[in-house]
Amino acid sequence: MLLTPCNWTSATRPRMRTTYSTTVTSRRNVLAMPHRFVTNTRDLLKHWVRFRYDRSPFHEGEQDHTKVCLDTAAIFPKSNWASDANIGSVYQGYTIDAKATLVHGINCANGSRITLRGTYEHTDADAEEISDIVHDSPPSTGMFKQNLLRKLYEECSFHKDQGIRLSHQCVQYLYHSSRLGKLNLDVEYHDLEKADCQYLGALLHPSERQPGFFGAVLSHFDGTEGKLRVVSQVPAHTGFHGEASLTVKTADGHVYQHDHVPTYTHLLEPRVFDFLSYSNLQEYSSKYKHETCDLQGRSVRTFDGVLVPLPDTDCFQVVARDCSPSNHFTVLAKPTNFSTFPKAKVIKVVLENTVIEVFPSADVEGVIVERDGERVAVVSNYTLNAKPDGLYVFFDGDALFVQVAPFRTTP
């Protein structure tokens, strides 16, 4: 079998183990030093990840260091979400631009180079379903059509009719409709050698039997120079990881199809969900996930998802508080006595020596905000972020969102 630079089988692919410390051999000391740098803008719309791996000469014939340099960047769209917007169309038409450059050689300027430039968007099926929802069209049907977004949207609309403006189902619809599972990717590679592809394949194949996305793409590298056009779509799924459908077009016009490609990570389906301090890191580690409780209508949804009816009383009830000995803040709520606002609430936030109260009024449109008993004018989209106290308050002119950090005792 003739092996082109990236055409190999599991039997020919070398096994690799990455070492992050100094290794001593009989020949010489080998130093392998990896460095990773992660940065982002303050608004979290631009992200950069840089990875550097530097290994000193190992084999007898090696004279230079071997370096692996990876530079990636992603630009997320700015949200135009508003509480009175049509939930169905909040993320319609959103895209993410991303690029990556991987260099393998004696330095980061010269060597084998792979460049990726792509745009994420909704899958064809999700885009069609969102369009049907926005235009109030009948749900499209198909043998494998799940209509997950349609079901969540209908449940969200039902709760809205019951006076719950942003129910758990509404938040779930926003979360799932923010998934951009289609990637349009341009791939270029230059000065590629056979050894480069073998090592890359060993690094990028999580499984020998089921090569993932990068393994499928690398299998179409032919020669030292080339270009590919890749379209990946990950259908809607309820599991932790889905499967991708890949279409690869080579420079000579041939088109190849790869179905049921394991994704292994969420790199092929990022989300633009920007509610409740969400970040895509939540998809990789639970420590970045924020549990929420919801006070709307005549019930409270607790952090563990249990619905608890509100007691029939006009007294304030504790919704959330600082559980540390400092007791920096307390969030209280009680129902109103207005017949015109049967499901509205009076919210009181006590932040050390400051008391903030938000309540509806029959005399004015919207709600009234008072600080220490005095009425204050608050512009729409007002944000109070008290990071040292673990409290985040957002007021959009009609609804109040309060987020508190979890309290963890020190060992």
Q: Indicate the average pLDDT of the chain.
A: 76
CB 280 within 8 A of CB 120: no
Q: Which long-range contacts (CB under 8 A, 24 or more apart) does 141-150 make?
A: 144/235, 146/235, 146/236, 148/176, 148/236, 148/238, 149/173, 149/176, 149/177, 149/236
- pLDDT value at position 152? 92
- The 10s digit of each residue's pLDDT in 181-225 is 999 999 999 988 765 666 666 555 555 566 788 888 888 888 888
CB 272 within 8 A of CB 77: yes
The secondary structure element, H or E, covering residue 385 is strand 382-386
Rg, the chain, Cα only:
27
At 280, list the tokens. Answer: 């895509």
Residue whose token pair is 């198909």: 142
- The 10s digit of each residue's pLDDT in 56-71 is 877 777 777 778 888 9
pTM over 0.85: no
Q: Which long-range contacts (CB under 8 A, 24 or more apart) does 244-251 make?
A: 244/213, 244/268, 246/213, 246/216, 246/217, 248/216, 248/217, 248/220, 250/220, 250/222, 250/226, 251/226, 251/227
Half-sphere exposure of residue 258, counting CA atoms within 13 Å on the CB side?
A: 25
Q: Say how far apart CA 69 and CA 6 lie, in whole Å.
A: 20
Residue whose token pair is 């609804």: 399
- pLDDT value at position 255? 95
Maximum separation of any 2 CA atoms in the chain, in Å: 87
Q: Decide: residue 101, CB within 10 A, 0-12 exposed, 13-18 middle, 19+ buried.
A: middle
- pLDDT value at position 14? 32
pLDDT block averages, 10 residues each, the chain of length 411: 32 33 41 70 82 79 80 88 75 94 85 93 93 86 69 89 79 91 94 68 57 84 90 84 90 92 86 76 69 69 73 74 76 66 69 82 74 80 69 68 63 45
* b/e map 248-266, b = 16+ CB within 10 Å: beeeeeeeeebeebbbbeb
